[in-house]
């Protein structure tokens, strides 16, 4: 491991919460694609599979920020464990209804319940923000590391989920995702020393973190970005099945994540000058352009190459997004703000997976790759229109109007621009 990354874990407790975060985030990469694989195997209906996956994402979009807001107010342990129990119960109900051939509406009911799944990635990043609040350089590296962890989940998550569901039984992938969720949340919340201390109730003023114009731009852009991810997942499974190698879809999707993982590792070692907003805009546009070659892939190996190249722009964009969230929301709403970006992705995944499923049913997998191209164009357009709101950080305030001298304050934001 490079020295910059190794130095992150000199602080006691960081290895434990990062490892727990890895396990707790696996369901994010496994559950949706596992549900698509399970339902398509049991019913042969990609439209239904995509719609159920969309319902899961929409539920997460509605419930996720509310859970994170409660975490900011009451702490991770008090909120995450009950939320996890609700989510696991919903997963169990979904699997049972799918296995028993229950009416379609029951699948959507339990899919909605899975939205209580905690945003473990936001919880871990909030811990890093607490540990390295006085070192923007270390925090940049920490966010890059967590982006790599995200991609590790998306490399192995689809392989595990699709592989289990195709080689064992259809419900196996989502079932194991539920197990990972239980283990990850219980392990993370057992680590009290690094848990961010909730701020006093009086400091939680001003409504939602979405009151920040900059955060609204990030979330709106990520809706379109999430549509890219959701569409690519669904269409790639269908593309592989059309060529008689459905199980290979997990390997192809893992290559997509591998490209992002490699870029994230390198990006964490760089300390680039210039405003983060400019790098973010370039990253969003690069993601949009990278969708065009997917139209030309006529085989799984060519598709894998195209997706690897497309993945190179993901992690750097996500890392920069976290720095921008810090610059535009108060520390008392940091976990909620980070979760709103995930919410934007979740809404986009819902739209993208649903649209891609219907296009695949109507015109085949090749036509389905038009969906991420359109989504990428929308993401780039929104990013251009909102760029002006991201160029200047907002002075973050704590309760009673006192300056919040956290990592997002103007002075430290200047440091972010020098070293991020």
265 domain-assigned: yes
Burial readout 240-260 (b: 16 or more C-beta within 10 A, e: otherwise): bbeeeebbbbbbbbbbbbbbb
CATH of the domain at 405: 1.20.1250.20
pTM: 0.71
Dist. CA 290–CA 292, nearest whole Å: 6
Residue 1, in any domain of the structure: no
Backbone phi and psi for residue 64, each to the nearest 5 degrees, phi listed first: -55, -50
**CA-to-CA distance for 34 and 414, rounded, in angstroms?**
43
Q: Number of folded domains in the chain?
A: 1
Task: Write down the pLDDT at residue 287.
Answer: 92
Per-residue model confidence (pLDDT) at position 263: 85
Q: Count CB atoms within 10 A of the CB of residue 9.
A: 15
pLDDT tens-digit profile of 171-188? 888 999 999 999 999 999
Specify the pLDDT at position 68.
84
Q: Which two tokens stand for residue 1?
A: 């491991």
Report residue 400: phi and psi, to 5°: 60, 20
- The C-alpha angle 278, 279, 282, rounded to 5 degrees, equals 90
* Rounded average pLDDT over 100-129: 88
Which pLDDT value is given to residue 404? 41
Which of the four pLDDT bands, split at 50, 70 and 90, describes residue 399?
very low
* pLDDT tens string 147-166: 788 777 877 777 788 888 88
Which of 27-41, 92-106, 174-188, 389-403 tops mean pLDDT? Answer: 174-188
User: What integer is the mean pLDDT of 341-354?
Assistant: 78
9 located within any domain: no
Q: Which two tokens stand for residue 4?
A: 């910059």
In a domain, 167, yes or no: yes
The DSSP bridge partners found for residue 175 are: none
User: What whole-number percentage of the chain has pLDDT above 90?
Assistant: 19
Q: What are the phi and psi torsion angles at 243 (to 5°)?
A: -100, 10
What pLDDT is stored for residue 408 in this prediction?
39
Residue 393 forms part of a structural domain: yes
pLDDT at position 419 over 80: no
6 located within any domain: no
In the predicted model, is pLDDT for residue 273 greater than 90? Answer: no
Dihedral angle of Cα 186, 30, 349, 187, to the nearest 10 degrees = 10
pLDDT: is 329 or 312 the higher one? 312
Residue 201 counted as domain residue: no
**Could you tell me if residue 195 is left (phi over 0), alpha (psi between -120 and 50 degrees) or otherwise beta?**
beta
Within 8 A by CB and 6+ apart from 373, the residues are 291, 292, 294, 295
Identify the domain containing residue 185 by its residue range: 14-196+207-419
pLDDT band at 394 (very low <50, low <70, confident <90, very high): low
Q: What is the pLDDT of residues 228-263, one digit of tens each?
A: 988 888 888 888 888 888 778 878 887 888 888 888
Answer whether residue 4 is part of any domain: no
- Of residues 323 and 288, more confidence is placed in 288
Tell me the average pLDDT across 37-58. Answer: 82
Q: To 10 degrees, the CA torsion angle through 161, 164, 165, 168? A: -170
Q: Which residue has the higher pLDDT, 379 or 122?
A: 379
Stretch 335-351: mean pLDDT: 79
Q: Give me the chain's average pLDDT, please.
A: 80
Q: How confident is the model at residue 83 (pLDDT cuts 50, 70, 90)?
A: very high
pLDDT for position 85: 94
Residue range 197-232, pLDDT digits in tens: 876 554 545 566 767 778 888 989 989 998 998 888
Highest mean pLDDT among 101-110, 248-257, 383-392: 101-110
Residue carrying the six token digits 């649903």 = 354
Tell me: the pLDDT tens digits for 85-100? Answer: 999 999 999 999 988 8
Q: What is the mean pLDDT of residues 55-61?
A: 82
């Amino acid at each position: 491991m490079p020295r910059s990354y190794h130095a992150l874990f000199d602080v006691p407790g960081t290895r434990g919460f990062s490892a727990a975060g890895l396990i707790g985030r696996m369901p994010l990469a496994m559950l949706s694609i596992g549900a698509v694989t399970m339902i398509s195997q049991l019913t042969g209906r990609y439209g239904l599979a995509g719609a159920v996956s969309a319902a899961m994402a929409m539920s997460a979009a509605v419930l996720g920020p509310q859970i994170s807001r409660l975490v900011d107010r009451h702490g991770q342990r008090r909120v995450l464990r009950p939320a996890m129990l609700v989510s696991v119960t919903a997963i169990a109900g979904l699997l049972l209804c799918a296995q028993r051939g229950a009416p379609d509406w029951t699948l959507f009911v339990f899919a909605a319940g899975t939205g209580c799944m905690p945003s473990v990635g936001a919880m871990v990043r909030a811990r890093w923000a607490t540990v390295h609040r006085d070192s923007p350089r270390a925090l940049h590296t920490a966010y890059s590391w967590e982006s790599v962890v995200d991609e590790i989940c998306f490399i192995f998550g689809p392989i595990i989920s699709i592989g289990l569901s195709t080689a064992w039984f259809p419900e196996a992938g989502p079932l194991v995702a539920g197990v990972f969720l239980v283990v990850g949340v219980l392990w993370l919340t057992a680590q009290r020393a690094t848990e961010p201390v909730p701020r006093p109730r009086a400091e939680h003023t001003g409504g939602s973190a979405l009151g920040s114009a900059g955060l609204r731009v990030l979330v709106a852009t990520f809706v379109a970005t999430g549509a890219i991810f959701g569409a690519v997942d669904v269409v790639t499974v269908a593309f592989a099945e059309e060529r008689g190698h459905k199980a290979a879809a997990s390997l192809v999707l893992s290559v997509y994540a591998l490209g992002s993982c490699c870029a994230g590792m390198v990006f964490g070692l760089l300390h680039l000058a210039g405003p983060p907003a400019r790098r973010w805009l370039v990253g969003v546009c690069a993601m949009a352009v990278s969708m065009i070659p997917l139209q030309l892939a006529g085989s799984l190996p060519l598709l894998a190459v195209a997706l690897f190249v497309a993945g190179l722009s993901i992690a750097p964009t996500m890392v920069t997004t976290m720095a921008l969230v810090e610059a535009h929301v108060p520390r008392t709403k940091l976990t909620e703000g980070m979760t709103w970006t995930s919410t934007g992705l979740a809404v986009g995944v819902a739209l993208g997976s649903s649209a891609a499923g219907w296009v695949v049913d109507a015109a085949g997998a090749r036509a389905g790759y038009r969906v991420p191209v359109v989504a990428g164009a929308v993401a780039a357009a929104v990013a251009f229109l909102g760029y002006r709101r991201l160029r200047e950080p907002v002075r973050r305030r704590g309760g009673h109007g006192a300056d919040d001298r956290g990592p997002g304050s103007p002075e430290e934001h200047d440091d972010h621009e020098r070293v991020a």
